A = this chain, B = another copy of it.
Amino acid sequence: MNAYTYEEMEVGRKESFTVQVTEADMDAFRAVTGDGNPLHADDGFARDKGYEGKVAFGMLTASYLSTLAGVYLPGERSLIQSVETKFLKPVYPGDTLSVSGEITEKNDTYSLIFVKAEIRNQKGEKVLRGKLQIQVI
């Protein structure tokens, strides 16, 4: 786990990691949130809606932004203040995602960093675009 101080966080710094979305992750997310929507549980339902099969929860994919901030950028001193996220393409269980972020701006008064994030699948397709405001505590 990184433990960058605010001073060490310069604009342009990038961090990334990869993670696979498993069926077990889907089940755990469903259990935690109570989101039993069939798009994420029923292959037949998802195919009827035009997908290859059941689709990963968008907010599960977005949850990797928690890891991006809390483990990598800045790591230990992370306190996420806000997140904006846009879901661009479906993610399927089994997909391997590359999660990356780059510092675009800083606010010295409040020790804030602004991070532009993106998540791509194993085909290189951008599946999520995000922005985070993080206080370095």
The residues of A with any CB-CB pair to B shorter than 8 Å are: 1, 17, 19, 25, 28-29, 31-40, 49, 57-60, 62-67, 70-71, 75-76, 78-87, 137
- CB of A18, distance to nearest CB on chain B (Å): 11
How many copies of this chain does the complex contain?
2
List of B residues within 8 angstroms of A57 by Cβ: 63, 66, 70
List of B residues within 8 angstroms of A17 by Cβ: 34
**Provided the pairs A59-B62, A63-B59 are in contact, do residues A36 and B84 lie with their beta carbons within 8 angstroms?**
no
**Provided the pairs A40-B70, A70-B40 are in contact, do residues A59 and B33 lie with their beta carbons within 8 angstroms?**
no
Q: Which of A17, A49, A84 has the most CB of B within 10 A?
A: A84
